[in-house]
Amino acid sequence: MKYIDPHVHMTSRTTNDYEAMQKAGIVALIEPAFWLGQPRTEVGAFKDYFSSIVGWEPFRSSQFGIKHYCTIGLNSKEANNEALAEQVMELLPLFALKDNVVAIGEIGYDDQTKAEDKYFREQIELAKEVGLPIMIHTPHRDKKNGTLRSMDVLEEHGVDPSMAVIDHNNEETAKSVLDRGFWAAFTIYPRTKMGSERMVEVVRQYGSDRIIVDSSADWGVSDPLSVPKTANLMKERGIAQEHIQKTCYQNALDAYGQSGNMKESDWSEGVNFDQSVLYGGNSVLRGQEPKKSSSDIIEN
């Protein structure tokens, strides 16, 4: 089976992760713009980071047979530095229309401050202007109220629920998100947020319509193989193949394919790559023998 991981921060991961993901059946991924673990202090840091996820990272991903997309946005945590946030907002339109950008995100709330609300709303309007879906980060603290508030704001701005993915859901928020017509994404972390065992029960209870499984793997304790591992557990627990295929592949394609930049044809015949090719003079190989197809990677 083929999988899409529609929320994984590959900037924080290694080439070994890419190889393991490809062997596990992941054919495409989405890398949302996010917080790097410590505050950025200058707008140039954002510019370089955005440049990386629309340039270097798609190249690195392609070298392991995986199609790379990303989202562009000012994350909620850093929205609280308003002087810097104003400068970042000027950058966003320059990157929002790049070829591999499939949404504005991840945006929303962290501590639910006035500044977060301000820049959340501005980025919603940007998404509407450029015709992109929106990826919502729901807060780790006071998640239920933050999730409800996020949906209220989206509706205030006239966003069609089909154009917004509410991420980092749990059992407390799932029903509200689905009842209001939004896409409901679930982050699979080993011990926090939503584990694979709990995810199986969510699908058993709600089915697979508008439900998306992702890993959100980043610089912390996390697993870039969460999507295929959860799919395998669903199969073991008797979840129908149709539900597995929708939650671990098709729904992500349907949601983010609305951007016009994500198409199944991008990977259906395999992702073209040649590991002997350089990017800015750089190679991912460090002296290893170049490979030129996904089958080469699998065989090795």
User: Residue 60: CB partners within 8 Å, gap ≥ 6?
Assistant: 10, 15, 18, 68, 279, 284
Is pLDDT above 50 for 24? yes
How large is the greatest C-alpha to C-alpha distance in the chain, in angstroms?
55
75 phi/psi in degrees, rounded to 5: -70, 155
In the chain, the percentage of residues whose pLDDT exceeds 90 is: 83
Stretch 24-50: mean pLDDT, rounded?
A: 96
Do the domain assignments include residue 295? no
**Model confidence band, residue 289 (pLDDT cutoffs 50, 70, 90):** confident
Give CA torsion, residues 54, 210, 248, 129, to 10 deg: -10
Do the domain assignments include residue 55? yes
In the chain, the percentage of residues whose pLDDT exceeds 70 is: 92
- Chain centre distance of CA 185: 10
User: 10 Å Cβ neighbour count for 44?
Assistant: 11
Do the domain assignments include residue 277? no
Q: Among 37-51, 203-217, 258-272, 275-289, which stretch is predicted with the lowest mean pLDDT?
A: 275-289
Q: What pLDDT was estimated at residue 271?
A: 77
**214, 6 Cβ separation under 8 angstroms:** yes
Is pLDDT above 80 for 146? yes
Is pLDDT above 90 for 300? no
Do the domain assignments include residue 283? no
The CATH number of whichever domain residue 243 belongs to comes to 3.20.20.140
**Model confidence band, residue 98 (pLDDT cutoffs 50, 70, 90):** very high
Count of domains in the chain? Answer: 1
Do the domain assignments include residue 142? yes
Stretch 206-230: mean pLDDT, rounded?
A: 95
The parent domain of residue 101 ranges over 3-261
Q: What pLDDT was estimated at residue 191?
A: 67
**73, 92 Cβ separation under 8 angstroms:** yes
Is pLDDT above 70 for 132? yes
Stretch 244-266: mean pLDDT, rounded?
A: 98
Q: What pLDDT was estimated at residue 270?
A: 81
Stretch 172-194: mean pLDDT, rounded?
A: 90
Do the domain assignments include residue 292? no
Strand-by-strand arrangement of the 164-167 sheet: 3-5, 26-32, 67-72, 101-108, 134-137, 164-167, 183-187, 211-214
Is pLDDT above 80 for 229? yes
> Would you tell me the crossing angle of helices 82-96 and 43-54 to the nearest 10 degrees?
30
**Model confidence band, residue 284 (pLDDT cutoffs 50, 70, 90):** confident
Q: Among 84-88, 107-111, 277-281, which stretch is predicted with the lowest mean pLDDT?
A: 277-281
Is pLDDT above 70 for 180? yes
Q: Which of 56-65, 150-159, 264-273 has the highest mean pLDDT?
A: 150-159
What secondary structure letter does DSSP report for 110? S
Do the domain assignments include residue 291? no
Q: Does the model's pTM come out above 0.75?
A: yes
Q: What pLDDT was estimated at residue 298?
A: 47
Do the domain assignments include residue 294? no
User: Residue 266: CB partners within 8 Å, gap ≥ 6?
Assistant: 28, 67
Is pLDDT above 70 for 206? yes
Is pLDDT above 60 for 48? yes
